[in-house]
Structure 1
Amino acid sequence: MADVQQRRKWYHIKWFSDDDTKEERRLILKLDLLIVPYAFLAYWTKYIDQANINNAYVSGVQTDLNLHGNELVQLQTMYTLGAVLGQIPFAYLFTKFPMSWLIPFLDIAWGIFTLLQYRVTSYSELAAYRFLVGWFEAAFFPGMHYIFGAWYRGDEIARRGGVFYVGLTLGTLTASLIQAGASSRLDGVNGLAGWRWMYIICAIITIPIGILGYFILPGTPDKPNKLILKDRDIEGAQNRLKRAGHGIAGTFKWKTLIDILRNWKFWAFLWLDIFFWNACYNTNAGGYLLWLKSLDRYPTSKVNELNAIAPALGIFYTLFICFASDLVLGPAWAITVAHTWNIVGLIILVVWKVPESSLWFAFATTYSSVAMSSVLYGWMNSELRYSPIARAVVLVTTTVIAQSTTIWTPLLVFKTVEGPRFTKGYSFVLANAICLILTAHLIRYFTTREGKRRNSEIEGQGSVGSGEDAQDPEAVNYTVHPK
């Protein structure tokens, strides 16, 4: 017989598993202190450098470069195009080169091209730099989730990923505050407009954090950074992960790709990811900034300060959803909670002709849409824990395909000339949010059924589950113990 240990009540939750030894807990804490702060800082700078185009647009770029029509959404699309194309090689490179070298290199490179944006004199030059920033930022997000999946079990990823993902909301918030400060204090200094100073400041923040990564990012168990990890740390991590059914090393083979394409989970998570990327595009469209500007009530610095409200609330949304997923809800219900709140705001934005206070509320819900990102990618990591190759291929492939859909959809539904209302855009995002919730529960149903079937087979054989059979695919804290 097998005794199934279900997810604990929230008030019984401990940071460490009961099965972790004292040495393993020290190792986990060490990894937490190395991976999570760097992931947070680097993602923070990534989103400063990604989101600052919207702040720059309302702070002088539009007039200084004589932008018109839909050129803002086209600049956003150039970034996305770079971000999609730049990811493709990394499904192979993640398992070939140390992640402790790859990720910091990318960080420094996008910092350099962020800096170069301060000198732009035309739309085409800015578009080229936006493409290159996107190219070098491309692999950071799936790369960090690959690292999380390399060191942590499925029931440990989401809350750590949640802290990492706070970097997104804090980065957007910080970009607004940096631009507000640059507009009010640096505009005209040394003959440079405030928005040009913003790019200089962003680069000064980004590049040192990239350099820091070489010294604190631990890499992966098969290609560790031995500057900071001892042999006993690496051996302890590998043993701990093997007990949970994680694969440690492997090389890319075409057969692996074929096996992945035959697995229904790949296609299910691909659709889930597509719906996710399109259900959160309201965070990138610039609708809130354009609406604030359209009120014709606030100076530029105040517009940028007010733009920080929504991402500031996003910090709370992200931590709440990610911790709740690991400790209480599980991924499907965490996704449901996040996007139910998103749907409430989207309905108001679609209707639009409501009291102004309702629009303030609706824009305040925006960042709930991205709060479950680490839940989704943690779910993928957990399902694919048996193979680092499968994790690399699926994390990159799903992100590439899903993000690529946001290259063309904004051009159709978020045209700059239709802002700030974006009726088509918000309706499109609303439909994707609904599909996201439904797809999450379909995956939950089939993975739970599959897990129960496997556990029944184990019980019938009178043996203890190991490897992929050791955990239920939905409730990642679901283990099989012999009686």
Structure 2
Amino acid sequence: MLSRRQGRAWYHWFAATDSPEERKLILKLDLLIVPYAFIGFWINYIDSSNINNAWVAGLSDDLGFHGNQLVDMQTIYQVGSVIGQIPFAFLFPKFPMNWLIPGMELFWGVFTLLQFRANSYSELMAYRFLIGLFEAPFFVGVHFVLGSWYRADEIGRRGGIFYIGLTLGSLTASLIQSAASANLEGVAGLSGWRWQFIIVSLMTFVVAVAGFFIWPGTPDIPNKLFLSDEEITLARKRMQENGTGASNAATPKFSLPLLKSVFTDWKVYVLTFWNVLFWNSDPQPWGGYLLWVKSLNRFSTSEVNRIGSSAPGVGIAYVLFINFSSDLWLGRTGAIILAHIVNIVSMIVLVIWTVPESALWFAFNIYYFDIAMSSVLYGWANDILRHHKQARAIALIVMNTVPTAIRAWIGLLVFKTVDSPRFTKGYSYCLANSIAIIPWTLLVKYLHDRYE
């Protein structure tokens, strides 16, 4: 794969060795896979993160919430996500992905909608759990599909465009809540934060239905609505040349020997711990920026959410820069190290805290550099695991479930709502993980190079 990257300018979309037929196929796949993945993740992150926007927009006051109930709702979402991921290690290689992922999206849309009628802590906790449960397969499912159609030198840029959905989701959730607070407060007797849940759930339903028709599934179980038999054959040939699924016949489809082959291999442990460090270097799910802006007590509810969109807004540029540079310039190792050097600077400022206010604005608005490298990490993992699709599904689920489970209770320890807006323990914890991921990434590179 390195040879395909060498000699390519940053703006080259195809490899020089790609035939005209391959370029046509790649472009069609880009139009079918990437936009839906991007829009789906955009909706996914609106629906998962909008509890923070609703909290600062009046939910906590209207329902009499107090103490650590915000972090409790963030945690119960993570618990649902952990439980929901486990079955999909079995289902990804066996079930049409153009039915599986959009189907789950419809379900999480229903429970996103039901939040508008919540009148108690227990009711909202139940909805947050179910949203996490049904959202669980989306992120890993997209990476499974990307790894099924794209080579290692192609996946970083596509994954980067997909991952913009996270930053855009955070930005849009803030803007939707800002507009709802400014224009819909009291309409039909509903608070602005209730209207937010109605609006975003309707968006979710539209995207889910489109996914049934647009998404191409995988080369093994394709959606042939927009792909011909010749294009599917060519796609399978490309991935065989890439080594993807090369040893599918060497191990039974799902069996004790398969599980033994996965869990006696270095890959699942090294990649899982790598992902644990990454997930726990990221402070943004806990809403620290929004809570800090609100604590300044000089902005209206609408302004707090609008200002809160600045960090994910500039984060879009970080995601594009890190992921495109990983494919075409810095390489995967360099892109990950750069992202975490910037994150270390951000976390140091937030740990110190007693700095000029402008330094805090700066730190909060660069901390999306950390998550910008997510698709580099998952794309690299797809490459490392590419030789057996069932083992790849299991390993991807394990490496995503373990950090989700850890982060579910970490928030209760170091990002307690009562400590806001200054999360000294939380930012120190993220700093330690961000420092540790740099040598671990070098270890991954060494092991992968030796393995190849």
TM over 0.5: yes
* Residues 55-79 of structure 1 deviation map (CA, whole Å, 9 limit, x = unaligned): 0001111011111110000000010
Aligned letter for 2:343?
A: N
Aligned letter for 1:426?
A: Y
Task: Report the TM-score when normalising by structure 1.
Answer: 0.91
* 1:48 shift after superposition: 0.5
* 1:350 shift after superposition: 0.1
Aligned letter for 1:235?
A: T
Aligned letter for 1:420?
A: P
* 1:262 shift after superposition: 1.6
Aligned letter for 2:216?
A: P
Alpha carbons 1:321, 1:334 under 8 Å: kept = yes
Answering whether residue 160 of structure 2 is matched by residue 162 of structure 1, we say yes
Match of 1:233? 231
Q: Report the Cα distance in structure 2 between the residues aligned to 1:450 and 1:134, rounded to whole angstroms.
A: 36
Match of 1:191? 189
Alpha carbons 1:9, 1:328 under 8 Å: kept = no
Match of 1:143? 141
* 1:370 shift after superposition: 0.6
Residues 237-246 or 80-89, more deviating: 237-246
Question: 1:275-314 maps to which residues of 2 (within 5 A)?
Answer: 275-280=277-282, 282-314=283-315
Match of 2:263? 261
CA gap of 1:228–1:428, structure 2 versus 1, over 3 A, is same
SS in 1 for 2:37: helix
* 1:18 shift after superposition: 2.2
Unaligned 5+ runs, structure 1:
452-483
RMSD (Å) for aligned C-alpha atoms: 1.4
Q: Report the Cα distance in structure 2 between the residues aligned to 1:302 and 1:13, rounded to whole angstroms.
A: 38
Q: Report the Cα distance in structure 1 between the residues aligned to 2:183 and 2:236, rounded to whole angstroms.
A: 52
Q: Report the Cα distance in structure 2 between the residues aligned to 1:6 and 1:27, rounded to whole angstroms.
A: 18
Aligned letter for 1:273?
A: N
* 1:449 shift after superposition: 3.5
Aligned letter for 1:118?
A: F
Q: Report the Cα distance in structure 2 between the residues aligned to 1:417 and 1:377, rounded to whole angstroms.
A: 34
Match of 1:38? 36
Match of 2:115 among 107, 114, 117: 117
Q: Report the Cα distance in structure 1 between the residues aligned to 2:99 and 2:80, rounded to whole angstroms.
A: 21
Match of 2:417? 416
Match of 2:63 among 62, 65, 85: 65
* Residues 243-294 of structure 1 deviation map (CA, whole Å, 9 limit, x = unaligned): 11111767323212211112112211111000011011x1111111111111
Tell which structure's C-alpha radius of gyration is larger.
Answer: 1
* 1:9 shift after superposition: 4.8
Q: Report the Cα distance in structure 1 between the residues aligned to 2:451 and 2:384, rounded to whole angstroms.
A: 12
* 1:13 shift after superposition: 6.2
Q: Report the Cα distance in structure 1 between the residues aligned to 2:431 and 2:440, rounded to whole angstroms.
A: 14
Alpha carbons 2:10, 2:325 under 8 Å: kept = no
Answering whether residue 33 of structure 2 is matched by residue 56 of structure 1, we say no
SS in 2 for 1:66: coil
Aligned letter for 2:399?
A: T
Match of 1:244? 242
Residues 169-178 or 5-14, more deviating: 5-14
Aligned letter for 2:146?
A: F
Aligned letter for 1:395?
A: L
* 1:155 shift after superposition: 1.1
Alpha carbons 1:317, 1:367 under 8 Å: kept = yes
Match of 2:175? 177
Q: Report the Cα distance in structure 2 between the residues aligned to 1:127 and 1:242, rounded to whole angstroms.
A: 46
Match of 1:74? 72
Match of 1:98? 96
* 1:390 shift after superposition: 1.5
Alpha carbons 2:10, 2:329 under 8 Å: kept = no
Q: Report the Cα distance in structure 2 between the residues aligned to 1:449 and 1:106, rounded to whole angstroms.
A: 39
Q: Report the Cα distance in structure 1 between the residues aligned to 2:156 and 2:231, rounded to whole angstroms.
A: 23
Between the two proteins, what is the percent identity of the paired residues? Answer: 54
Aligned length: 448
SS in 2 for 1:220: coil
Alpha carbons 1:8, 1:328 under 8 Å: kept = no
Q: Report the Cα distance in structure 2 between the residues aligned to 1:38 and 1:288, rounded to whole angstroms.
A: 29
Q: Report the Cα distance in structure 2 between the residues aligned to 1:180 and 1:4, rounded to whole angstroms.
A: 46
Aligned letter for 1:262?
A: T
Residues 99-108 or 251-260, more deviating: 251-260
* Residues 181-237 of structure 1 deviation map (CA, whole Å, 9 limit, x = unaligned): 000000000000000000000011111100000110000001000122111111010
* 1:19 shift after superposition: 2.3
Alpha carbons 1:332, 1:444 under 8 Å: kept = yes
Q: Report the Cα distance in structure 2 between the residues aligned to 1:123 and 1:414, rounded to whole angstroms.
A: 19
CA gap of 1:94–1:267, structure 2 versus 1, over 3 A, is same
Alpha carbons 1:334, 1:372 under 8 Å: kept = yes
Question: 1:126-141 maps to which residues of 2 (within 5 A)?
Answer: 126-141=124-139
* Residues 333-359 of structure 1 deviation map (CA, whole Å, 9 limit, x = unaligned): 211111111110100000000000000
